[in-house]
Structure 1
Amino acid sequence: MLKPWILISGLALALLALLAISPAGVAGYEVAEYTIADATGDWGFPSPYAHYSRGPGYVRMSFIFDTLVWKDDEGYLPALAEGWEYLEAENAYSFELQEGVTWHDGEPFTAEDVVFTVEYIQDHPYQWVDSSIIESAEAAGDYTVKLYLTEPYAPFMDLVACTLPILPRHIWEGVSDPEGARDDEALVGTGPFRLADYNKAHGTYLYEAYDGYYMGAPKVGRIVFVKISDQTAPAALRQGSAAAASVPPEAVSSLEGAGLEVIEGAFDWNAKLMINHQKEPFSDPEFRRALAYAIDREALVEIVLRGEGLAGSPGMVPPDSDWYNPAVEAYEYDPDLARGMIEDLGYSGTEVEVLVAERGIVGWPGSRAAELIEEQLEDAGLEVTLRSLDGATLDTLVMAWDFDLALLGHGGLGADPDYLRRMTLDETLNSVRYREDDRLTALLEDQRTETDGDDRAEIISEAQVLYAEALPALTLYYPRWYWAHNGEVALYFTRGGISIGVPIPLNKMAFL
């Protein structure tokens, strides 16, 4: 294992090489350079169509591309739209756009860019926005645009207005392969920063301030992302080679003692046991419920998270959410009951493979969680094999339904509760893709068209009960997240998470 000082030296060399790429000066900014440590490193080319589908990929793209509306720690705030309203009679949202906004290449931003973007994602689906709910987009002059919906859509503000990156028509109208567009033009946005360098192999990103930004020039001249593990990040923070990083809970007190600021996030990320409900015996809901009784989620919190988290709700929604239903079946740990259920079903001695990946991220369900689950499932009468893979391979196998059980994790549980539908019905990696329960499917579809808050809350509550009964996957725990930083930038966790709920305190507004 490399010693911390060797890793930090490697970080310093990577920074020197990266910063030497761009000769532009950073004098005159309140903060000349701001270095962010990231455990994974590469999250894809930061264009709207080429970034990886997880939250860190979206965050890197968001520094370059703006949406119509954005969020901070208090709620919605204007972005490319300075004002908006819902027109119930027309089932449309009207947006008054900012005037004087320019793309990074100097071309003016207008309503035609918004109309083009909507039409473009209907021809070229964008992974984070459901374009089917938008019937059409119409411009009324250069700075007014209406988006007509196919039906009422309760999560529109979070899942469309605050998520869809607006594209420059004069560039993207000639792009037929958006995922393959990797040139400089693919990174022309209206956001506060421009990409100066990206190194996939090293997992490094260098952003430089766009002084022509319509909200005012950023206060940070350069933002640098460098790959460094969460375990080594505290040393980098203390030495000053990193300005911000996610840190393990056990490092919090020493970092605060060293004069660093520490912020704590909500329980809006979950470690999840994915269950292949498309094959026997996992296709049997009673067997899935036996698995839930067999796994000690409280022990996972105490041992894997060292008490820094909450045991998972079988209804997925975390207990600190306004949408949480406390009446959901808890499946308290009961190995004797689990063993008896498995015996009655005739599955004693069944061979089960559990896939796991080490991703170097605090809270991620890695080998320690897998070993505990192995012990508990074997105690319930199953024959368990652990299979350790790299993260990309595990994701591929899960998407192909080529697994028994797999340990994954994702955020978004602090955002609009439509995530319960998306994580159940959508054909995406983090979704369980479960439609066998007609009543559950109907409720999840109905809630997104219910615009009355109280009525929608009742639907979400009932859906949690049915999800917990079906158990297409089991939320194991919600980790408590900590980020430490040097105070040069006032980082914060976005209310409801960035975009569709990304629980990362790197909101671009903090850098302005």
Structure 2
Amino acid sequence: MKRLMAMILCLCMLAGIMAGCTKEPAENKPAENQQNEPANTNVPASSSEPTESNSPTAETEALYGGTLVAISTSGNPGSFNPVWKSDDPATSTNHNIFNKLVTLNYNYEICPDLAESWEISDDGLTYTFHLYENVKWHDGEPFSSEDVKFTIETVLENKGRMAIEWSAIESIDCPDANTVILHLSQPDAALLGFLAWYACQIIPKHIYEGTDWTTNPANQAPIGTGPFKFVEWNQGVSVTLEANEDYFKGRPYVDKLVIQFISDANTAEQALLNGETDYMLSSPPLSDGPALEANADMIVVKPNMPSRYYIGFNFGRELTGNIKVREAISMAINQEEIVQRAFNGYGKAAEGYFTPAFAWAYNDEDVCPAYDPDAANALLDEAGYPIAYNGYRFSLDLVNWQNQGVSDMSAVIKEQLKAVGIEVNIITLEMGAWTPRVKEDFDFDMAITNGFHGPDPHNLYSRIATDASNKILGPYSNEELDNTLKEAVKVSDQTKRGELYKYAQKLMHDDYCIVPLAEYPSFYVYSAKLDGTPLSEEGKAAGLSFNSFALTRFNDPSMINN
């Protein structure tokens, strides 16, 4: 019977680096069903069984111990309920406390997590996951398929962060404690990726059942199945975790993991250089990129990422609701200048309305207008917004969050729009305040955002559609765009899917709903005294999720007792 290879191929973000994370023994694979088998690549697949990567050898036994300190510059978490709503500052902590059914590594491959294997029926309507045995919650209670069922049903019923992405799930069966079966109402080529990506950790049924999941005490003192247990949250300062001695994939190497919150990237970088911390969870100031790359005490990793920066317009405001204003702003933005000045030449100027990392789904024809401030001025005049005595036509609020790159971009954009008579008021907030203001209250004219645009092109739906969960466009709605995206996710043939996503980008172009700015200049730096990070080849081969420190260890014995 036909395998749904298109579903696998749709997960391949970046050609040439993709390889499957898992490969089950041949005798365990029913021939008629699609398995968690790698797509054809030139990189060998790694086993989902414990290997040297996640089973310590005698040589590494002495490297157990020590406290790993990582820095987050994204602000203070709102809570540690991982599936309730968007909470970027909490994600690094959640990746170490909780597990998902399946997860993504830094090659953007789908890898086993709580599920050690899975099958997808030939019609794409049934997903069967086989769970690891003998998994326990941090309070000692056994984990089971009922926890998976409870988590997914709770997200769907309460409109959690991934409710839209999981909406094709019609019912869930748990034939035994280690098997969970998802029944879909329609084929969904993106579902497996969206079970592996963001806000999809499994939460404990015995803790949350019968409670208000928004106020449950576990939101402040989380209980997971992951490699680290929660110890303490010093709000605004740090979160402290300790090694889970009973972790089903093997005890972590370090005894403690401390995630510090330092909003200023310069201060965070200096703490790393001074040896006060070990790992930066976000980019340092990219003006320091060359010096960091030349520093023998640091490891710099610049992974390709299907992530990008863009401006979103509030369609509920008079000015930004005017298509001529949006088109003029698009013409007034010089993306190449932004990359050079804000990112020190790292990254790439964005052109299209979606990430080019998905080459098969990327529309390279209907792209952002070329930089042309003269044409922008003429269009604003035509729209009825002449330049007033103060030198401006009107004023717009640009709302961003505390991040060095975003601040630098905002300053360049302010200059560029001033050249066409638009005054820009930059409003900078902590991420915890930015999210509700922009995504819930629609209190902005323009907003800058970034983020992962995978693990499938259907991520576009969650950013653009009328009922999108991650939209920064206010009340923007385009029925034809919604229907095009809804149709695309049902299609298994990659070429046909690609044509639908390309057409969706044409509709975005025609509405000038966003201004693409830059393809994300990913730049991570950590101490050379660390091995087994999620960014390392070892970490990727072992299927570590983003910022999971389950295998991270010190290679310098002097650090063990620090």
| TM-score, normalization by structure 2 | 0.77
> What is the aligned-residue RMSD (CA, Å)?
2.8
CA displacement 1:366-396 (0-9 Å, x = unmatched)? 2x433433333232244x1414342355544
Structure 1 residues 97-108: aligned runs within 5 Å: 97-108=131-142
CA distance in structure 2 between the partners assigned to 1:504 and 1:284 by the alignment? 42
Tell me, yes or no, if structure 1 residue 139 matches structure 2 residue 182: no
CA displacement 1:233-278 (0-9 Å, x = unmatched)? 3332222111111322333343342421110132533332221222
Q: Secondary structure at the match of 2:214?
A: helix
Tell me, yes or no, if structure 1 residue 272 matches structure 2 residue 278: no
Tell me, yes or no, if structure 1 residue 151 matches structure 2 residue 192: no
Which residue number corresponds to residue 490 of structure 1? 532
* Residues 375/184 of structure 1: CA separation in 2 closer, same or farther (3 Å cut): closer
1:155, CA displacement in angstroms?
Answer: 0.9
Structure 1 residues 106-505: aligned runs within 5 Å: 106-130=140-164, 131-163=166-198, 164-175=200-211, 177-183=212-218, 187-202=222-237, 204-228=238-262, 229-245=264-280, 246-255=283-292, 256-318=294-356, 323-349=361-387, 350-357=393-400, 359=402, 361-364=403-406, 366=407, 368-382=408-422, 384-391=423-430, 392-398=432-438, 399-406=440-447, 408-425=448-465, 426-428=467-469, 430-432=471-473, 436-487=477-528, 488-493=530-535
In 2, are the aligned partners of 1:418 and 1:448 still within 8 Å (CA)? Answer: yes
Q: Give the partner amino acid of 2:343.
A: L
Percentage identity across aligned positions?
Answer: 26
Of residues 153-162 and 320-329 in structure 1, the stretch that sits farther from structure 2 once superposed is 320-329
1:82, CA displacement in angstroms?
Answer: 1.2
In 1, are the aligned partners of 2:95 and 2:545 still within 8 Å (CA)? Answer: no
| TM-score, normalization by structure 1 | 0.84
Q: 2:88 aligns with which of 55, 74, 82?
A: 55
In 1, are the aligned partners of 2:314 and 2:476 still within 8 Å (CA)? Answer: no
Q: Secondary structure at the match of 2:67?
A: strand
CA displacement 1:398-424 (0-9 Å, x = unmatched)? 332333223x22211242111111110
Unaligned runs of 5+ in 2: 1-60, 388-392, 554-562
In 1, are the aligned partners of 2:325 and 2:383 still within 8 Å (CA)? Answer: yes
1:435, CA displacement in angstroms?
Answer: 5.2
CA distance in structure 2 between the partners assigned to 1:258 and 1:89 by the alignment? 53
Q: Give the partner amino acid of 2:151.
A: T
Of residues 141-150 and 394-403 in structure 1, the stretch that sits farther from structure 2 once superposed is 394-403
Q: Secondary structure at the match of 1:441?
A: helix
* Residues 315/285 of structure 1: CA separation in 2 closer, same or farther (3 Å cut): same
In 2, are the aligned partners of 1:210 and 1:218 still within 8 Å (CA)? Answer: yes
* Residues 332/414 of structure 1: CA separation in 2 closer, same or farther (3 Å cut): same
In 2, are the aligned partners of 1:290 and 1:338 still within 8 Å (CA)? Answer: yes
In 2, are the aligned partners of 1:135 and 1:150 still within 8 Å (CA)? Answer: yes
Q: Give the partner amino acid of 1:472.
A: C
* Residues 433/419 of structure 1: CA separation in 2 closer, same or farther (3 Å cut): farther
1:449, CA displacement in angstroms?
Answer: 1.6
In 1, are the aligned partners of 2:227 and 2:252 still within 8 Å (CA)? Answer: yes
* Residues 463/357 of structure 1: CA separation in 2 closer, same or farther (3 Å cut): closer
CA distance in structure 1 between the partners assigned to 2:427 and 2:512 by the alignment? 24
* Residues 370/58 of structure 1: CA separation in 2 closer, same or farther (3 Å cut): closer
Q: Secondary structure at the match of 2:265?
A: coil
In 2, are the aligned partners of 1:43 and 1:57 still within 8 Å (CA)? Answer: yes
* Residues 250/286 of structure 1: CA separation in 2 closer, same or farther (3 Å cut): closer
1:143, CA displacement in angstroms?
Answer: 1.5
Q: Secondary structure at the match of 2:464?
A: helix
Which residue number corresponds to residue 97 of structure 2? 64
1:186, CA displacement in angstroms?
Answer: 5.7
CA distance in structure 2 between the partners assigned to 1:260 and 1:80 by the alignment? 33
1:427, CA displacement in angstroms?
Answer: 4.2
Q: Give the partner amino acid of 1:274.
A: G
1:30, CA displacement in angstroms?
Answer: 2.4
Q: Secondary structure at the match of 1:140?
A: strand
* Residues 168/388 of structure 1: CA separation in 2 closer, same or farther (3 Å cut): closer
CA distance in structure 2 between the partners assigned to 1:390 and 1:315 by the alignment? 26
1:161, CA displacement in angstroms?
Answer: 4.8
Q: Secondary structure at the match of 1:180?
A: coil
Which residue number corresponds to residue 23 of structure 1? none
CA distance in structure 1 between the partners assigned to 2:97 and 2:168 by the alignment? 26
1:95, CA displacement in angstroms?
Answer: 1.0
CA distance in structure 1 between the partners assigned to 2:244 and 2:485 by the alignment? 42
CA distance in structure 2 between the partners assigned to 1:266 and 1:362 by the alignment? 20
1:156, CA displacement in angstroms?
Answer: 0.8
Tell me, yes or no, if structure 1 residue 46 matches structure 2 residue 108: no
Q: Give the partner amino acid of 2:257.
A: I
